[in-house]
Every structure is written in C-alpha cells, then in structure tokens.
Amino acid sequence: MKMPLTFMLNNQQTTLEVDARQTLLEVLRNQGGMTSVHRSCEEGECGACTVLLNDEPVNACLVLAASVQGASVLTSEGLVKNGKPHPLMKAFTDELGIQCGFCTPGMLMNAYALINRAGDNLLTDQVIRKTLEGNLCRCTGYVNIIKSVHTAQKAKLAGEWW
Amino acid sequence: MKKREERLILGKGQYADDLAFFNMAHLVFVGSPHAHARIVSIDTKKALALPGVITVITGKEVAAHTRPLPVQANFTSKGWTWRLADVYAIPADKVRWHGEPVAAVVAEDEETARRAADLVEVAYEALPLAGDLRTALSPGAPKVYDDWEDNKQVHLVFDFGDPEKAFAMADQVLQVTNREGRVTGVPIEPRGCVGLYDTKNDTLEMWGSFQTPFLSRHNIAATLGVPEAKVKINAVDIGGAFGLKIHAWKENVVALASKLSGRPVKWMEPHRDFMATGPHQRDVFWDGTIAFKNDGTLLGLKATVFHDLGVESTNKGIAALSIFPACSSPTNMYKWVGMHVEGIGTVTNKSFYCAYRGYGKDKGIKFIEAAINQVAKKLHMTPEAIRMKNFIQPDEFPYHQINNYVLDSGDYPAVLNKAMEMADLDFFRKRKKELAGQGRYLGIGLVTAIEPAGVAVPNCQMGGITEARVLITPDGSVEVHSDRTEIGQGAEISHATIVADILGMDMAHIHVKRVTSDFIGQGPLSSRGAVYPASAVAKAAKLLRKKVVQCAGSLMKIPADQVVLEKGYIYPVNAPEKKISYAQFADKMFFFPGPRGLDPEILKAHDHLLDVTTTWYSPTTPESGSSYTSFCVSADIAVVEVDIDTGVTQIVKYVHVHDAGTIINAQVVDGQIQGGIVQGIGEALYEGLNYDENGQLMNTSFSNYLIPTSVEAPDIEIAHLETPSPFSETGSKGMGEAPIIGSKAVILDAIEDALSDFGIRVNDAPATPEKVRKWIRQASGQNQ
Amino acid sequence: MPDNSAGNSAIENSVMRNFIGSRAMPDLVYHSPKEISDLLSMVDAHGTSARVVAGCTDFIPSVRTGRWSFDQELNLIDISKLPVLNQIEKTDDVLKIGASVSLTRILESPEVKVHCPVLAQAVEQMASLQVRNTATMGGNICMASPAADTVPPLLVSDAWVIIQDAQGEHKVLLTDFFTGPGRSVLTSGQVLTHICIPVKKANEAAWFQKIGTRTAVIISVVSAAVRVTISNGVCDTARIALGSVAPTPVRVAEAEQFLEGKPLDDQVIAECARMAAQAISPISDLRSSKEYRKDVARTLVKRSILACREALK
Ligand SMILES: Cc1cc2nc3c(=O)[nH]c(=O)nc-3n(C[C@H](O)[C@H](O)[C@H](O)COP(=O)(O)OP(=O)(O)OC[C@H]3O[C@@H](n4cnc5c(N)ncnc54)[C@H](O)[C@@H]3O)c2cc1C
Ligand code: FES
Ligand code: FES
C-alpha cells in the first residue's frame, strides 16, 4: 500500500511517498537520503539504526514508517548545524570514540538523548554504560565512547550545545 | 587533525550500503537449509515470475561462466598432508554447510529480490554429516569432498630446536589440554559491494567493503576469467573488518550478475548471512606435554593441535595455512630447547574458516600461556616468577627463536613489572583470601604475550608484497597511496602523521587516498599495517624529502644540508625569513623548474618531480625465514569474581601494559587495545558458534551470538613502554591482534584461579555461566 | 522473540525453507485506529487477515526471520496511537495499564514504582532502551513467549488481562491466558486492552531476577519472580513464578504452598527453592541445557525469597 508520509525530519516538515510495509530505516535511507542511519541486523539487536522519534531513541528497523505520520524524527545529520559538527560529534572525534564509524551515528543519537535528559546531573560511567547497552560496537571496547559522552556533557554544561 | 573521523561523524561516510548507481539492480542469496545434501533440482520459475525479478543465478550458471576459486596458499612440504578442494562460488552438485548459497536472485529492488528468494524451489537429498572434528576423522566418515581419500585436509609437522634433548633434560613433564570454541569476528557492518561490468569495454569495476583490494582483484579476475588489468576494486568506508573482509567470494557472483544482466548490481549482506556463511575461527583442541625443570626452567613441548576447519575456505588454502602460525607460536617470549608440534586440520560440514584477528598465531600463545600457568601451579611458583625465569632478556635482541622468528626488541620483564605494579597484585591476592571465607570467589589471572606481526609467508598470497607512493601536487598538498585500507584501525591518521612529520608539514595538507587495487599490496592483514605499509609510506616520504631538500637547496642556492622543512615551509637554516611555502615550492617544481631555477643536473636525473613510489620488505624475513618482522609485547592482568551458584563471571579490574615500539598516535593504539581486549573477553565468556546435531548453526544473530555490550565491557587501565623495533622504518610494531590474545587467556586464567578451591581446569572457552556452573557441580560431586 | 529461525531445525528432505538472511516484509494495509470502537470493528471486519501490533519489536523480527509468513495481504492494526490504551491508572486496589503503554513508561511510572515495583524491576532488565521505548507489555504478554520477562512478575502479582472483542469485555486471569509457546487464549477478532494488577500491600514484598549468558540485552535463560506476604513473622501467601523453564511461564504451586504458614528461615527457603526446581521440567535449547535451567532456577528462587525477607525486615 503506497501512501504519503508527512513528518518532521531533522526539524523540517517532510513528505515522502512510502509503502506501508517499509520500515522507518528503509525510508530514511532510501527516500530520505539519511545514510548515516546504518543498517546491520534489521532485528533491533545492534542499535546501528538508532534515531530519535519524538526525542526518544528507537531502532528505526523496528518502526513501521507509516506509524511516524506527524511525528518528529532526528538523525545524526540533523545534529549538524551550518556544516559544523555538533559539540557531541566533536567530543567523539576528539576522544576517538569512533573507529570504523559504523556504530557511531546510532551511538550519537542515544548519547544525545541521554545528555539532554540528564540536565545538570553529571552522568556516571554506570549510567552511560546502561543507556548504551543497545548500541553494539565491535571496534572501541566502548572505553573512548564513554569518555566522549562525558566530554560532550561537559561541553553542554559549558553552554556549547544545540 | 582527524579528517576521516570528522567526515564520518558528519554523516558523510560512504559505506557499501550507501552506494547507489543509476539503473542499479539488487542481489540476494538463497542459502541451503541443509548442512550436507545433494542438490536434486532447482526450480526458479516462481521466482522469475515475480514482477521485478531480473534473473536467478544458480550453480549451473556459475559453473558455465566462472572458474573454481583460485588457490591462494599452497604450503606443501615432504611428508605433510595438504589438500585443496575445487570449489565454485555457488555449488552445482551438493551443499556442504548450513546457509551455503545455492542461488542468487537479482531484482529491481532488494525487497523484491528477498521475496523471490523465498520462491526459489530447491529439492535436496540429505546426506549424512561430517558435523564435527571427531566424526569427520573417524574411519568411514561421510566425506565432505567426494574425491578426497578422507576429511583430513592438513597435517603439518614441525620440529623446532631439539625436542628430544629438551625432554631428556626435564625433571618433570605435564600434560595440558585446551579447547577454544568456534567464534567469528562480527564487525557490525556485514559485507557488501556493487559490481559494474562495462560490456562496451569489457571491464569490471567494484566498490565495497574490500579489506584487501589488490588481492581481491586477482581472485575475482581469475574466477571470472577477465584479465586483471581490466578489473578495478575500490575500497569504500568499511564498518569494521578484523580479517573477515579479506574475501572475494560472494563478490564473484555479484560481478557475474552484473556481467549477465548488463546492470550495476548491489549486494548488501544481512547479518545472519554473515554469521552463517562468513569466516569462522578458532575451534581448536590442543593436547600437549610440556617439559621443565624443578626450578621452573622451561625446556620443551610436544603437542598436537586439531583444527575444525569447516569446508574449504573460499580463500582457498588460507584456512589451512593458518595452522602454520598456530604451530609456531607456542614459543611466545621464552627460551626453549626444543618443540615438536603437529597441526591437523579437518574439513567438516560447517562454514569455512579464515582470518579473524589472530589467524593462528594467537592459538599457540593462548595454549602455552595456559600450560605455563599449570607448570607454575605444579611447582608452587607464582605466574610472574616462572615468566621472569624464562623471559628472553633485553640484551639478547635480536633473538633467533627456535622456530626461526627473529624477535626484534623489547624489555619483557619491564612490561610485566609495570603491569603488576598497576594491578596491585598483592592487594588482590590478600583480598582473595579474605573473601574466600565469605563464600565469594575472586580470581587473578596473569599472562604475557608477544604478537608476531607483519606477515610474509612463502607459497601464498601473503608473501609480503607492499607498495607506497607519496607525492606533492602542484598546489603543495600531499597524496599518500598505499595498500592499507582503513578498517577502523587508524590507518589514515597514522599515515598522515608519519608523512607530516617527515616532510615538515601540517597534517591538514596530507591526503591519504582511498585504497584501490591500483596499488600493489596485501593490505592490512596480520597486523601488517604498522609494519609493511607504514614502513613503505615512511620510506617513500623519506625519499621524497630528499628530493625536496635537494631541489630546494638548488633553488635557494644553498647546500642541501642547510634546508629546513618545518610547519609547511621551506627555508635556509640561517635565513628563516626567506621561507617559501610548499605551495610556492611545488608550483616552481612542476611548472617553472628551470634551468634558471634548478641545477640542470637535477632535471637531467629526473629528480625534480615530487613523486616517489617505493616498496618495502622485511629486513629479517629473507635470510632467517622469520615469517614476521616485529613482535610487540604485552602483559595482561585481570581480576574477576565468579558467582559460584550461577556461574556468572564479573570483571573487577583489568590492566594491560603494552610495548608496540614507537607510538605514532597514542589514541589510535589505545583504541586498538581497548577494542581487542573486549573482543577477547567476548571469546572468553560468551561467544560461540554452535552447530546442532543436524549441522544447523544455532547462532546467527546478535541475540544468540553474544558479543560484549557496554555493560559487560570493563574499564581498562593501559600503560605503554616504547622500545622501537630496529626492523621497521618507523620503529613501530604491528599490534592490532595482541590485545585479543592476552585478554582471552587472562580471563580464563582468572576464572581458574577463582575456582582454585574446586581444583577446576578452565580449558574450554567460552566459560559461559552454564559451563562454569557445570564444572563446579562436577567438581563438588553434585549431580542435580 | 528473536531466535534462530533463519533455519528450521527439523531435517526433512523436501520441505525445509530456504536459508535467507533477512526476509521481506509482507504486503500490508496499515490501520491506525484512534477509538476502541474503530479498533474492534476493524479487528472484526478483517478476521484472519488482521494482525494487531503495538511496538512491533516482536512482529518485525518474526517476519525477518520467517517465523511468520503471510499468504495474503495483511491488515496491520497498530494500537499504539489509541489514547485510551496508553494510560496507567490506579483505581481502588488495582493498577490498570493500557496495552500500548511502552516499557519505558512502565519503568518510569511513579504508580508502578509504588504499587508494583517488581514489574519495574523486571522491565529494567529487558531489552535495550531503544526497544523499551516502543515495546509494550501487552505485546510481551501476547507474544506468549516462555521467556517473556514481564510475565513472572505479573503472575506472582495475581494479575489479569482485559480482552475485548465485538461481544464485549472479558477478564482473564494471567494464569489462564497462555496455552503453549506462542499461543494464548486470544482468538482472531480479539484484542488485549489492559493489564490489571492488584496493588502491593504493606506487609508484602516481591522480587524478580533473571539470568542469561550475558548481562545486558539478553533473553532469559531462567527468570524468577517471588511475592510473599508476612504476618507475625510467618509467610501468609507465597507466589513463585518461573520463566523459560516450561512451554509457558509457570507458577510452582507446591513450592508456594510449602512456604505458606512457615517462617522464612534459611532452611525453609532452601527447601522451597529445591521444590520449585523439582517441579519444573525445562528443555535444552540453543540458550541453555535443561540441567542448568533447573539448577539456576533453584538459586534464583532462593535469592528472590531472601531478597523479599530482607525487604520485609
Ligand atoms: C533487541 C531485543 C531485545 C529483547 N529483549 C527482551 C527481553 O529481555 N525480555 C523479553 O521479555 N522480551 C525481550 N524482547 C522481546 C520484546 O520484549 C517484545 O518484543 C516486546 O515486549 C513486545 O512488545 P511489542 O509491543 O513490540 O509487540 P508487537 O511486536 O507489537 O507484538 C507482539 C505480538 O503480540 C501481538 N499483540 C501485541 N499487542 C497485542 C494486543 N494488545 N492484543 C492482541 N495481540 C497483540 C502481536 O500481534 C504480535 O503477535 C526483545 C526484543 C528485541 C528486539
Ligand atoms: S539495524 Fe536496527 S538495530 Fe540493527
Ligand atoms: S566504531 Fe566500529 S563498530 Fe563502533
């Protein structure tokens, strides 16, 4: 069943022609051009496809595109402002929380929501580890990813954030 | 300056799945549900009738249009068994493992191809299985390859030093066994590529997750019967590889599909396919006897290591070849009198075996480390004491090991001492005793390892070829070409750092190019990256620097030794104010070289073109036969706590001390270490590929092939020592694989220590909660 | 439930399905009712071609792995946009949770924390944040997996579900809901709309524990929930439920009865745990052997009762 889908994609009202059987992952990549949303397991296990749906991280491969009608979806492309990396992205580059880069966009989105939720509360390693448990990374051993999240939160508390 | 990382983080990565071409078709493989069966017939009518399906390729088409996969290693010697099987990318006669492709559907879109894949009707006649090593080796076992005498693929026999003398000198001997389960690398991105066969020019070009484009070109061209010169392979951004993307196998079918359909064809592998039909590793059983003196002096080893190889590798011969490093590596970092090691490899009805971080050299080290810790226990020595007694000493390098390895450099005792200091061994040993009274079980593991790196083995495609090119463009920026694909191991940062340092330039002006098959080399495998390609790049940069200095001296009318290259400028040592930028200099060299500018002799000698291509080969390999050039050193100490009622292991502390020679970029090295350690922990505790009695692989997803998440991964404390390698161009040593070796061994050792009250040998990885609990129940005589 | 369905395990010569790494989604018509009446008429109208989904976290993996396949076009009825099913209410002594409330909302709900903390304890150990953000408890119950982690806590809490169809509302005790692995009393045309849980009392404690091969994002090898009420130092009522040890999550009545009327001393607890393990006959599968399941079930029951005792001190 073909249908028009209207939703906020990275803060812009967007209408795409989709098929009801498509997942949000397929639509974001194929029709939306958001190739940072990576595809691996398609079964919700790896987190590479993590995006924010109404500000909360979800696995795009487990969301039917049709169900996001009227919702807001944020991908890591949406964090970039005027071509500039988001402070969170800068933290991941500075701390080398990125190696092959395949898990990174999903990590970024989950970490972004986490840091926003945390407000002024300093995140502990334990909270970061628990929150990112659904984002598998095979390269980094997570150590530098956790460092990156701490560094990013500091940037946020210092007022560098959007 | 992290150009690549900045690009990727902005979402500008181009991974295989992101490739899109005009008029592109999509390919999906249809796999066999049987582990061993004759293909009776394949009916593609229903699949072809589905609108949007372009073609279905089966073993028949593959046999008609391609050749068997080429031989990649032929490591025969007198008295050895070494067999290779003729295999096609898709078989026409019978399937030999669960998931093996029997057809490939090509359609307008992936969704249609997936639907059609369900409609391909294959009739099978199930055959009895050679489902595991024991069955495969038993007399009269079902044969995986009908034309072989039996299922034994390889039997290699090595005598290093004087094993008989070693055993004659011994006060004691001890038998040790060790099993490692079957595992795989699991990069988060599976394999994928696009093939584009240009029928007008009869050329083939491919883009995808190719870890070694130059080798892939050779193998794909050979399979398709196209001259290599008409094939080009491009590596795009790769979402992790760890050895698993050295392949060119299903890629052949993608190329063929493009040739037959006249369309660009894309294949993006689902994760479950990657698990079921990807390279597997480990799955070995060691049975050895170690000889030693009562004072702890190690003397010798007699051992046999059995490998369950699965079917013939799609990198034909490369799986069998990994038995060679497995047999050589037990020497590790100690002095020995002699060893006799036999390696046996058997084909079974399982997916094939190939490289995954370690490639055999890990196996011998893990085994000998376990064995040495047994010896220490027997002699009531600490694990550190027995190592200190047997280490090769810092003043003995280069050290000719009994297996021909020429160990380059290091301070083994210093590395271990540092680790012990960081781990606070005494504290934890005391703590273990305290907790023992409270029904809590703490264990401390300690292992040390060297990592043989920078491989060059005769009689195979891993012979040590490498090429690098560094050139300055007319606008003063620098291009760096090599065979070292970026698979997340920091190739670009490392190359750029090396070149920037040598040329006195800012890293912003150094552009490390994407790797294509235009560049000769076997790529970043077996931790070659920091040895071969980095050496070749450093060498090319040094030669280029010589040219720059000579030309600049001529231009500035000063002797070459007075030319300074610094921060992107070139100036006479005595007159910094006369500096010119690289851009100005390059412009002169390319477009206004001279005769008024440059010494005519330079022009006559063709020395003004700022472009150097060179090669590099290990200085030790040719004469010694040492198949590796550098040997980084590491010590791992882990403290774990085991819940003896559930069998669950918790890591309390993890310390890793490392000496990988000169460090080009500390962040990159630490990243490799942390990632490798967590992979090793996964192997030690969770990861296992298990086939059921019908030969069905039970772990095809992230939900049942369990890699560590951020919750299980421990904090890791790292320290570095830096003893440069005299044999590499930069002083660096390859180190990509060391962390996965030590971490797996040390976790198992720590669990064994935690269970010391029960007298349990932890010699069967992974030590899952269930297995640990089983050992405890057996040891305490509980039978429930 | 994600599992190994890419290949079947029975070996037969002809009828085994192809091994396909990831299967296509079926053709479907997407419905997103906003009112219960619309929902019920849609479910009724589409009969066997209708499928109710909430978070889709089980539905999509089931399609990808070929565990479910559909010959005809599917009418997918998404209940996640129904405001009335998206509420957590407390009425009198009952906590009523709508079928489309996400696991994250359950975890974060103050009502759940106060009135059924054992449920929150279980939900916290389920899946990942991303999955919990869309997955529902209704879905977790309806998929009827023996390993569904919300079920043991609900069983020990004496929970019931409300099922609606064209005929009206039906109340079904959760103990009567499951009929086998992947099977329940739900028939086509029916929707599970609410889960109702009697609220926690003052003299009562409950505990949930699960064990898997890994700590995080893991399907239970065994899960256990225990609830006890105590008066005068003696156990009044006991509820013990286990997951992943039988075709459906189960309560172990004998062990419960043994505990009732006794003081919670170490010996009684150990014996009760032994009886609970004795009562089950789990199977071996890709995640675990039956021996380990029995063995660790005993430990989990014991530890859960101990934790309850501790909480009641
Ligand atoms: C990565 C991952 C990890 C997981 N980990 C866990 C875990 O740790 N523990 C655990 O228990 N589970 C786990 N699961 C399974 C998950 O909990 C369940 O998938 C989830 O709770 C199901 O809810 P849902 O709303 O997504 O169900 P859906 O996928 O929407 O539906 C599931 C089934 O129930 C039916 N259904 C749903 N709602 C209703 C209703 N109201 N009325 C009638 N029928 C209905 C659907 O038709 C379908 O058959 C995991 C899943 C994934 C992908
Ligand atoms: S692709 Fe969505 S979680 Fe793996
Ligand atoms: S950086 Fe490679 S998977 Fe995380």
Which of B458-462, C96-100, C210-214, C306-310 is least confident?
A: B458-462
Residue type at B446 in one-letter notation: L
Per-residue confidence (pLDDT) for residue B57, from 0 to 100? 98
Q: Is C50 helix (H, G, I), strand (E, B) or coil?
A: strand
C90 and C183 part of one domain: yes
| B189 Cα to the center of ligand 3, angstroms | 9
Sign of CA dihedral B76, B77, B78, B80: negative
Q: Which residues contact C84 (CB under 8 A, 6 or more apart)?
A: C35, C36, C98
B201-207 average pLDDT score: 97
Identity of the residue in B5, B241, B673 whose CB atom sits nearest the CB atom of A93: B5
Q: How many CB pairs under 8 A join A and B?
A: 166
The dihedrals phi and psi of B589, each to the nearest 5 degrees, come to: -65, -40
CB of B230 closer than 8 Å to CB of B170: no
Confidence check: pLDDT of B692 > 50: yes
| A102 Cα to the center of ligand 1, angstroms | 27
B659-674 average pLDDT score: 94
C216 and C284 part of one domain: yes
Going by their DSSP bridges, the two strands B231-235 and B203-208 should be labelled as parallel
Measured in angstroms, the CA of B354 and the nearest CA of chain C are apart by: 21
C-alpha–C-alpha distance, residues B259 and B196, integer Å:
8
At residue B582 the predicted structure's pLDDT band, cuts being 50, 70 and 90, is very high
C-alpha distances (whole Å) from C28 to each of C25, C45, C49, C72 are: 8, 15, 10, 9
Per-residue confidence (pLDDT) for residue C5, from 0 to 100? 37
B621-643 average pLDDT score: 94
- The half-sphere exposure of A48 on its side-chain side, counting CA atoms within 13 A, is 26
CB of C297 closer than 8 Å to CB of C242: yes
Task: Write down the mean pLDDT value for chain B.
Answer: 95
Which of A95-109, B101-115, C3-17 is least confident?
A: C3-17
**Between the ranges B186-190, B483-487, B731-735, where is the mean pLDDT highest?**
B186-190
At residue B595 the predicted structure's pLDDT band, cuts being 50, 70 and 90, is low
For chain A, what are the domain ranges?
2-76, 87-157
Which of B241-255, B521-535, B765-779, C254-268 is least confident?
A: B521-535
Which of B82-86, B494-498, B512-516, B521-525 is least confident?
A: B521-525
B109-134 average pLDDT score: 97
Confidence check: pLDDT of C11 > 70: no
Confidence check: pLDDT of C260 > 70: yes
Chain A positions touching C216 (Cβ under 8 A) are 130, 133
C-alpha distances (whole Å) from B565 to each of A124, B293, B494, B548, B577 are: 46, 58, 20, 9, 13
In order of their start, the domains of chain B are 16-127+191-268 (3.90.1170.50), 129-179+280-390 (3.30.365.10), 391-454+626-784 (3.30.365.10), 467-616 (3.30.365.10)
Per-residue confidence (pLDDT) for residue C15, from 0 to 100? 57
Give the whole-number percent of chain B exceeding pLDDT 70.
Answer: 99
| Residue from A26, A28, A40 to probe the interface with B (highest B Cβ count within 10 Å) | A40
Instruction: Give the bridge partners for B586, in sequence order.
Output: none
C190 and C285 part of one domain: no
Confidence check: pLDDT of B594 > 80: no
DSSP H stretches of helix in B447-581:
491-503, 532-556
Q: Which residues contact A74 (CB under 8 A, 6 or more apart)?
A: A10, A11, A51, A52, A55, A109, A112
The dihedrals phi and psi of C32, each to the nearest 5 degrees, come to: -135, 80
Q: Which residues contact B449 (CB under 8 A, 6 or more apart)?
A: B332, B333, B365, B369, B633, B634, B635, B636, B738, B741, B742, B745
Residue nearest to atom 39 of ligand 1 (CA): C139
C-alpha–C-alpha distance, residues B778 and B764, integer Å:
15
C268-284 average pLDDT score: 97
What range does the domain containing C173 cover? Answer: 83-198
Task: For residue A5, count other CB atoms closer than 10 A to its CB.
Answer: 24
Measured in angstroms, the CA of C222 and the nearest CA of chain B are apart by: 11
Per-residue confidence (pLDDT) for residue B123, from 0 to 100? 97
CB of A62 closer than 8 Å to CB of C56: yes
Per-residue confidence (pLDDT) for residue B141, from 0 to 100? 97
B249-269 average pLDDT score: 97
**Which of C81, C96, C117 lies at the terminal end of a domain, its last residue?**
C81
Nearest residue to B373 (alpha-carbon basis) of B719, B137, B615, B637: B637
Per-residue confidence (pLDDT) for residue B596, from 0 to 100? 67
Nearest residue to B491 (alpha-carbon basis) of A99, A42, C179, C165: A99
Chain B positions touching A125 (Cβ under 8 A) are 715
Task: Write down the mean pLDDT value for chain C.
Answer: 94
Put simply, the answer to whether B118 touches C24 (Cβ < 8 Å) is yes
Confidence check: pLDDT of B158 > 70: yes
C-alpha–C-alpha distance, residues B607 and B551, integer Å:
8
Per-residue confidence (pLDDT) for residue C2, from 0 to 100? 37
Task: For residue B576, count other CB atoms closer than 10 A to its CB.
Answer: 11
B766 preceded by a cis bond (ω within 30 of 0): yes
Reading the block at residue B154, the tokens are 């390889």
The helix (H) or strand (E) run that includes residue B643 is strand B630-643
CATH code (residue C174): 3.30.465.10
Query: For residue range A81-100, what is the model confidence (pLDDT) as tens digits?
Result: 999 999 999 999 999 999 99
C62 and C92 part of one domain: no
What is the distance of C-alpha B343 from the center of its chain? Answer: 20
Q: Output the pTM of the full model.
A: 0.97
Per-residue confidence (pLDDT) for residue C6, from 0 to 100? 35
Q: Is B427 helix (H, G, I), strand (E, B) or coil?
A: helix
| C7–B contact, CB cutoff 8 A | yes
| Residue from B710, B716, B718 to probe the interface with A (highest A Cβ count within 10 Å) | B710
Query: For residue range A60-71, what is the model confidence (pLDDT) as tens digits?
Result: 999 999 999 999
**Which of C157, C182, C198 lies at the terminal end of a domain, its last residue?**
C198
**Which of C38, C54, C81 lies at the terminal end of a domain, its last residue?**
C81
At residue B514 the predicted structure's pLDDT band, cuts being 50, 70 and 90, is very high
The answer regarding whether domain A2-76 maps to CATH 3.10.20.30 reads: yes
C-alpha–C-alpha distance, residues A61 and A50, integer Å:
8
At residue B353 the predicted structure's pLDDT band, cuts being 50, 70 and 90, is very high
Look at the domain A87-157 and name its fold: DNA polymerase; domain 1 (1.10.150)
B244-256 average pLDDT score: 93
Per-residue confidence (pLDDT) for residue C4, from 0 to 100? 35
C-alpha–C-alpha distance, residues A6 and A16, integer Å:
7
CB of C238 closer than 8 Å to CB of C205: no
A46 lines ligand 2 (CB under 6 A): yes
Rg (CA), chain A: 15
Q: How many domains does chain C have?
A: 3
Q: Which residues contact B429 (CB under 8 A, 6 or more apart)?
A: B444
B660-668 average pLDDT score: 94
Confidence check: pLDDT of C3 > 60: no
Nearest residue to C67 (alpha-carbon basis) of C159, C140, C141, C5: C5
At residue C71 the predicted structure's pLDDT band, cuts being 50, 70 and 90, is confident
B176-201 average pLDDT score: 97
Per-residue confidence (pLDDT) for residue B6, from 0 to 100? 95
Identity of the residue in A92, A129, A145 whose CB atom sits nearest the CB atom of B9: A92
C155 and C193 part of one domain: yes
- The half-sphere exposure of C269 on its side-chain side, counting CA atoms within 13 A, is 19
Domain annotation covers residue C7: no
A103 lines ligand 3 (CB under 6 A): yes
Identity of the residue in C27, C60, C76 whose CB atom sits nearest the CB atom of A23: C60
B184-193 average pLDDT score: 97
| B240 Cα to the center of ligand 3, angstroms | 7
Nearest residue to B301 (alpha-carbon basis) of B288, B311, B313: B288
CB of B190 closer than 8 Å to CB of B247: no
CB of B399 closer than 8 Å to CB of B407: yes
C120 and C225 part of one domain: no
At residue C52 the predicted structure's pLDDT band, cuts being 50, 70 and 90, is very high
DSSP collapsed to 3 states, B268-301: ECCHHHHHHHCCEEEEEEEEEEEEECCCCCEEEE
Which of B411-420, C68-77, C175-184, C272-281 is least confident?
A: C68-77
Reading the block at residue B173, the tokens are 């001997």
Per-residue confidence (pLDDT) for residue B784, from 0 to 100? 43
CB of C38 closer than 8 Å to CB of C77: no
Put simply, the answer to whether C19 touches B32 (Cβ < 8 Å) is yes
B423-437 average pLDDT score: 96
Instruction: Give the bridge partners for B334, in sequence order.
Output: B391
Per-residue confidence (pLDDT) for residue C261, from 0 to 100? 97
Confidence check: pLDDT of C7 > 60: no
Is the ipTM, as predicted for this complex, more than 0.90? Answer: yes
Nearest residue to B403 (alpha-carbon basis) of B336, B319, B315, B305: B336
Per-residue confidence (pLDDT) for residue C14, from 0 to 100? 41
Domain annotation covers residue C135: yes
